[in-house]
Structures are given as C-alpha cells and as structure tokens.
Amino acid sequence: MELYFLGTGAGMPSKQRNVTSIALNLLDERGTYWLFDCGEGTQHQILHSPVKLGRTEKLFITHLHGDHLYGIPGMLTSRSYLGGDTPLTVYGPVGVKSFIDTALGVSGAHLSYTLKVVEIQEEGLLFEDETFRVETARLEHRIECFGYRIIEKDLAGKLMLDKLSELGVPAGPIYGKLKQGQTVQLEDGRVLQGADFVGAPVPGRKVVVLGDTRYCSGAVHLAQGADVLIHEATFAMDKQELAYAFDHATSVDAARTAEEAGVDTLIMTHISSRYQGEETNLLLQEAQSIHPNSHIAKDFWSFDIPRKV
C-alpha cells in the first residue's frame, strides 16, 4: 500500500504544483489503483508517474470545486484509449453524475468499459468487500464536501509451522484446515484445534483522505487512529482568519486534527501557491510543533504505508 501524490496545489495549478489528485497504490492488495480527486491536468500528471489508468478501479471525489474534478472527463476517456476495459466506479457528492454525463454527452465520448457513478446521500459505510471497507463523513467547506476513511481488513495470523513440526504433524491438507481455524483429528487419535496453531491477526491499515475543510469535529472523528491522515493545509497560521473565511485549514489546524485523532502520520497537501520552495518549511514547522510526525506532500512524491506486524 502506497500513496502517490499527482497534484498537491490549491485552487489553480502553478509551476510547482498541479491541482489535487492522489493515487492509492493497491497493486499488492487487489491489483488496482484508487484515485482521490481528479483536478485539471491529472491525466498529464499520470503520464509522468507509475500509476496505470487501465488498472484504476475507483475514483473518490471529495467535492465539486473545479480544482478537484475538472480532470474527470479527460481521465475517463483516456482510460478507454489506453485499453481499460474493467469496470470503474466514481463516488462523490450529488451533482457529480450530472457533471460526468454532461461532459461525456456533449463531447460524444464513448467508453470501452462499464462506468458506475455513486452519489453520496448520507454519511457512513460507502463500500465494503472481503479486503476493504470505505467510510465517509461530511466536512465543513463552502459546498458539500466529504472525507474518506479506507480500512484494510485484518489479515489472518500466520500458521505456527515450528510448533506443528515439533508435534510431528505432517505437512499437507491438515495445515490448510488448521489455518482456517478448523478442528483436526490425526491418524494417531490426537485432536488439534486450529486456534492453537495460528498467530494473532495482522492489523489492517487505515488511511484517511480529507477534502477541503476548516478544522471540524467530523474530520477528527473520521481520522481516529489512522495510520495516515491526508489533510489540506492551504495557509500558514498567520492567515488563520482568511482560512476560516473560505472554509480552509492552516497547517496548525491539520496538525491539531491529527493530534486529537491519535493519527500516526500526517501528510499535508492542497498548498497555496503563495508558499513556494523553502517557504513551505514554515507550514511544516508549524505542524511539527504540534504533531511531530508531519510531512508536506509535493507532486510525484510517494509514501509507503507498511503493515504493523
């Protein structure tokens, strides 16, 4: 599991940062990528990245401001041109379907795959299968905006091979049954309980991606205990009034949210173009004074999320 930042700027693209888009690399977990937001130029950013459009499975849109969705039509059609033929699901606030249908309809676009659009009506569970669960909650922004909590389900513990070997249990189908927690009777009459030979489950990882928001209880709730929190930090603390007026967050707001939620790693993005080069160090220093394990993302930067064994 790895995060890859395709665009980390706020409002409009700059020479240093494109507008918002983040990829979650799940190739090892499910052979796919998930995208979060798709600002203008996202498909161009993908051309310079390891992300493969044809292997993109889901796109989560946080809100309907242009710097978070103007790249959708180009991304969807390019996926067809590149041979993408597996289904793609887009999640987002009410209105995202109308935006997509209008753009594709007016341009006469034809997709080579099944496109499903899910408009979010309420907070809570959005998606679940045998490997992942995705939850969503409202944030505080000028228009309806959502954050997403991605929960990897726990992996089964490892089979205690040394213990089985010491007991003289022969390898084979028996091992598989014990791994599944079944009760097995050996030829010599011994009865083995699967639970006695399987280690503790390996905890799944939790990643929280927030859309634009000022500091709010919804963000703190959604981020509880996350391994990684991706939070906007449009401004430094000296622009607190400006941030609040436009429903955005400062680096201090982001760090405060991470600290209160017990987050491990905070990654700040959606950085105003007024902060260039070394000027972003001010945002980082402000955040690290509250939450030491904080980072500022930049375009084409990746962050690996290891399992906690």
pLDDT recorded at residue 14: 92
What interhelical angle do 280-288 and 251-261 show, nearest 10? 30
Largest CA distance in the chain: 76
Q: Which domains does the chain have, with CATH numbers?
A: 2-155+201-304 (3.60.15.10), 161-197 (no CATH)
For the annotated binding site for Zn(2+), the residues are: 63, 65, 67-68, 141, 212, 270
pTM over 0.85, yes/no: yes
**Both tokens assigned to 28:** 């090892």
pLDDT at 204: 94
Residues in the chain with pLDDT values less than 50: none
Which residue ranges make up the annotated binding site?
63, 65, 67-68, 141, 212, 270
Task: Supply the pLDDT for residue 157.
Answer: 82
CA-closest candidate to residue 267, choices 241, 240, 305: 305
With the C-alpha atoms ordered 82, 56, 303, 18, is the resulting torsion angle positive or negative? positive
Report whether 223 contacts 229 (CB < 8 A): yes
Q: One-letter amino acid identity for 149?
A: R
Q: What is the per-residue pLDDT for 143?
A: 97
Give pLDDT, residue 282: 94
Catalytic residues: 67
User: What pLDDT, on the 0 to 100 scale, is given for residue 197?
Assistant: 87
